[in-house]
Amino acid sequence: MKLLFELSKEHDTLPKDEVLSCLKAEEVVYNIVVSNENVLVINSDISYDKIERLAERLSFTFFIDKLLFFCSTSRDEIKKCAKNNVIDSEGSIAINYKNRSSSVDSQPIIRVLAEIYTEDKPVNLDNPDLEMRVVITDTNVYVGSKIVEVKRNQFEKRRVQHRPFFSPISLHPKLARALVNLSSIKRNEKLLDPFCGTGGILLEAGLIGTKIIGSDIEEKMIEGCKKTLDFYKIKNFELFCSDIGGINNYISDVDAIVTDLPYGKSTTTRGESIKGLYDRAFENIAKVLKKNGIAVVGLPNKGMIPIGDRYFSILKKYEYRVHRSLTRYFVVYQK
């Protein structure tokens, strides 16, 4: 089966890499058919249970569809491909589309598809038995039938202002989930955030079924993090108060580490320079991460990225604009 992942385009590469990391975590065997900033198409014998599991994890994908075909934006070619890819299922149908092109008119394309696919099926735009999905780009049209929609509104509902413990320094839940996914953490494996703060990263990791471990130098953050995890009924967690230099006294051999290192005026470094803190952070993260484990680390600027070179190999780097005045750098390291 060919699967079509409709990517969010909120970043050039992160949405695609998030999908690939989740496929690895869920041990899905696949071949890539198409990969660009709009879509990822894979060929796989994946079960529907695994597809549902992927949808539960992902944050930078809109839909997962069963691909019918893709072709150029030529109406003649679209018509030919549609006739060669019939839909056997009965019931009503709706055709929904996302036009990612500024130069291709979507309406002629949708009319051609409607002419073929609604000829012997009633149209029901509100509650169809089958929803066709169409992604239009500058050069290609991708046509599929929806399998599952990623419930992205859940991330808005978990923004920091809706949690029982509030701090303005917190990643958006959607980004926190993507960072967790980039670690390729599996269900029931151990994930550590050694600068857990209000617990945003731990919350997203806990919701996908990992065992979460958090530490912070401030006791009030640990107490607040526990309130957050309890509020969302996360059970499988461990929290402790510690400086980064002492985390190996509490834990060892974690499967993955995901953390956003302290930065800026509002964070607590106890008078230590940021570079000094980061040196110690990477040194001690390396002590507790298992061999070949992944560490996904948020940094304030490019100059800080090489600090981890003594302990890790760099797999991926992402420049991400958090808001107008703040750009963060997220790096995937491997021990």
Structure token digits, residue 214: 């958090």
Question: What does the DSSP 8-state code read for residue 232?
Answer: T
What is the SS3 assignment for 312? coil
Structure token digits, residue 140: 């290609």
CA distance 110 to 124: 15
* φ/ψ (deg, to 5) at 160: -55, -35
Structure token digits, residue 63: 């839909």
The yes-or-no answer to whether 2-149 and 153-334 have a common fold is no
Given a contact cutoff of 8 angstroms between Cβ atoms, the answer to whether 153 and 70 are in contact is no
Looking at domain 153-334, which CATH architecture does it have? Answer: 3-Layer(aba) Sandwich (3.40)
Longest Cα–Cα distance of the chain, Å, equals 72
Q: Reply yes or no on whether the pLDDT at 270 is more than 70.
A: no
Distances in Å between the Cα of 208 and the Cα atoms of 77, 251, 320 are 42, 21, 23
Given a contact cutoff of 8 angstroms between Cβ atoms, the answer to whether 133 and 65 are in contact is yes
CA distance 51 to 47: 6
CA distance 112 to 109: 5
Q: Reply yes or no on whether the pLDDT at 113 is more than 70.
A: yes
Residue 269 has what pLDDT?
A: 60
Q: Reply yes or no on whether the pLDDT at 266 is more than 50.
A: no
Residue 267 has what pLDDT?
A: 55
> In this prediction, what percent of the chain has a pLDDT beyond 70?
97
Tell me the average pLDDT across 262-287.
82
Q: Reply yes or no on whether the pLDDT at 306 is more than 90.
A: yes
Residue 249 has what pLDDT?
A: 96
What is the dotted CATH code of the domain comprising 2-149? 3.30.2130.30
Q: Which amino acid is at 25?
A: A
Question: Domain map of the chain by residue range?
Answer: 2-149, 153-334
At 215-230, the pLDDT tens digits run: 999 999 999 999 999 9
Residue 183 has what pLDDT?
A: 98
Tell me the average pLDDT across 312-323.
93
The helix (H) or strand (E) run that includes residue 25 is: helix 14-25
Classify residue 101 as exposed, middle or buried by CB count within 10 Å of its CB (0-12, 13-18, 19+): middle
Q: Reply yes or no on whether the pLDDT at 327 is more than 50.
A: yes
Structure token digits, residue 105: 């008119």
CA distance 141 to 109: 9
CA distance 168 to 190: 27
Residue 40 has what pLDDT?
A: 98
Q: Concatenated DSSP letters for 117-148?
A: HTSSS-B-SSS-SEEEEEEE-SSEEEEEEEEE
Average pLDDT of the chain is 94
Distances in Å between the Cα of 248 and the Cα atoms of 128, 175, 214, 243, 265 are 55, 27, 12, 10, 28
Tell me the average pLDDT across 239-266.
91
User: Cα(first)–Cα(last) distance of the chain, in Å?
Assistant: 35
Q: Reply yes or no on whether the pLDDT at 285 is more than 50.
A: yes
The helix (H) or strand (E) run that includes residue 226 is: helix 219-231
* φ/ψ (deg, to 5) at 137: -120, -175
Q: Reply yes or no on whether the pLDDT at 210 is more than 90.
A: yes
Tell me the average pLDDT across 182-206.
97
Select the more confidently predicted residue: 301 or 166.
301
* φ/ψ (deg, to 5) at 61: -130, 140
At 76-106, the pLDDT tens digits run: 999 999 999 988 888 999 999 999 999 999 9
At 240-251, the pLDDT tens digits run: 999 999 999 999
Structure token digits, residue 186: 């599996």
Question: What does the DSSP 8-state code read for residue 185?
Answer: P
At 138-189, the pLDDT tens digits run: 999 999 999 999 999 999 999 988 898 877 678 999 999 999 999 999 999 9
Helix segments in 58-186, DSSP class H: 75-84, 106-117, 153-157, 173-182
Instruction: From 36, 26, 78, 48, select the one nearest 208 (Cα to Cα).
Output: 26
